[in-house]
């Protein structure tokens, strides 16, 4: 059972205190949109230089996770993975207050979601399993799709989703079950297949001396066309891999989560495994900080 709601942009609860832990590509954009929506925003990032510019947007830049969550109505974690989210929340403990909402938006996977929800229960936090779909540009425009599990009538959480997203897909009321994280892994398996797929298509074209524009013209407007493949392909062809919208090492982490989740459920995913290996190899070749479209380079020795 799942249901959709369009966000209403500004029509909901304002003046919340919202803490954003992790101000990388996604967290920084979300923090800016929360500030723009009129909320009091408190931010923390491991490397302070990424959090500091948010002061210009009115955010309080905290020196520790515990300071960042002081007085928070809602805490958002937007960190690399589940272990990082758990570690940062442990460090936030002195500032946590019972009843605060924890919107866990890191792509953590289903297993880690269980450990995170147990931490939330132990500290009397209202937990939301709330990964997002959409990359840097939709994050900056406040147009993410939020996949959310938790108490769907919570006004504070909805106000936060309203500020960062254009659409909320509710997947269940029980955040500990990981239904939003499961949907996120399914969606990302498609995203990563498309990214690796276009990488291999372009590599083959290069090897065979085919102009890649001929390929794109061939599929344009027909059932084989895919906007996302075109987007990632053009990043490679125009050498626009930095700064990343979706970092290659982040994609490698997501690919591992997908493969592990499938194995746990005795599902064989040949392509996802091969894709994970492409990301690993491209990272080894020095493309880890570039956009995941750089998986293209896994087709070549250097």
Looking at the annotation, which residues are catalytic?
A: 184
The two beta strands, 40-44 and 60-61, are parallel
CB of 262 to ligand NAP, least distance (A): 17
Helix runs in the chain, H state only: 25-36, 48-51, 65-68, 82-92, 110-122, 136-140, 155-164, 179-208, 212-219, 227-237, 248-264, 270-282
Of these, 45, 104, 113, 171, which contacts ligand NAP (CB under 6 A)?
45
62 binds ligand NAP (CB under 6 A): no
User: How far is the C-alpha of 291 from the C-alpha of 302, rounded, in Å?
Assistant: 17
88 binds ligand NAP (CB under 6 A): yes
Helix axis angle for 227-237 and 179-208, nearest 10°, is 50
Q: DSSP readout, 30-73?
A: HHHHHHHTT-EEEEE-SSHHHHGGGGGGT-EE-SSHHHHTTT-S
Give the per-residue contact string, 240-259, with ligand NAP (x = CB under 6 A; - = no). -----xxx--x---x-----
Of these, 19, 135, 189, 283, which contacts ligand NAP (CB under 6 A)?
135
By beta-carbon proximity to ligand NAP, the closer residue of 54 and 201 is 54
Candidates 39-47, 160-168, 235-243, 294-302: pick the segment binding ligand NAP (CB under 6 A): 39-47
**Going by C-beta distance under 8 Å and a sequence separation of 6 or more, which residues neighbour residue 190?**
none
CB of 58 to ligand NAP, least distance (A): 20
CB atoms inside a 10 Å sphere around CB 4: 9
20 binds ligand NAP (CB under 6 A): no
CB atoms inside a 10 Å sphere around CB 262: 16
CB of 211 to ligand NAP, least distance (A): 29
275 binds ligand NAP (CB under 6 A): no
Of these, 60, 80, 123, 256, which contacts ligand NAP (CB under 6 A)?
80
Of these, 7, 17, 107, 182, which contacts ligand NAP (CB under 6 A)?
107
CB of 192 to ligand NAP, least distance (A): 11
> Among 189, 192, 110, 184, which Cα is nearest to 145's?
184
169 binds ligand NAP (CB under 6 A): no
Binding positions for ligand NAP, rule: CB under 6 A: 22-27, 45-47, 50, 78-81, 84, 87-88, 106-107, 132, 135-136, 245-247, 250, 254
């Amino acid at each position: 059972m799942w249901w959709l709601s369009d966000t209403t942009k500004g029509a909901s609860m304002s003046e919340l205190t919202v803490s954003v832990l992790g101000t990388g590509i996604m967290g920084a954009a979300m923090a800016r949109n929360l500030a723009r929506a009129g909320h009091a925003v408190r931010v923390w990032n491991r490397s302070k230089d990424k959090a500091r510019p948010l002061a210009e947007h009115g955010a309080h830049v905290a020196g520790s996770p515990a300071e960042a969550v002081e007085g928070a109505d809602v805490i958002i974690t937007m960190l690399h993975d589940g272990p990082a989210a758990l570690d940062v929340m442990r460090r936030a403990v002195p500032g946590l207050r019972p009843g605060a909402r924890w919107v866990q938006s890191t792509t953590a996977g289903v297993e880690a979601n269980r450990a995170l929800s147990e931490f939330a229960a132990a500290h009397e936090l209202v937990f939301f399993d709330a990964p997002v779909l959409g990359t840097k540009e939709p994050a900056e425009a406040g147009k993410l799709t939020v996949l959310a599990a938790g108490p769907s009538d919570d006004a504070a959480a909805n106000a936060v989703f309203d500020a960062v997203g254009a659409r909320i897909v509710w997947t269940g009321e029980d955040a500990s079950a990981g239904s939003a994280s499961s949907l996120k892994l399914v969606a990302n398996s498609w995203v990563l297949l498309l990214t690796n797929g276009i990488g291999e298509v372009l590599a083959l074209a290069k090897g065979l001396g085919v102009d890649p524009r001929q390929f794109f013209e061939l599929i344009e407007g027909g059932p084989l066309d895919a906007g996302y493949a075109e987007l990632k392909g053009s990043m490679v062809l125009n050498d626009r891999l930095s700064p990343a919208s979706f970092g290659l090492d982040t994609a490698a982490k997501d690919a591992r989560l997908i493969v592990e989740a499938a194995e746990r459920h005795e599902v064989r995913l040949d392509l996802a495994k091969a894709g994970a290996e492409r990301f690993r190899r491209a990272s080894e070749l020095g493309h880890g900080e570039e956009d995941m479209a750089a998986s293209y380079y896994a087709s070549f020795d250097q």
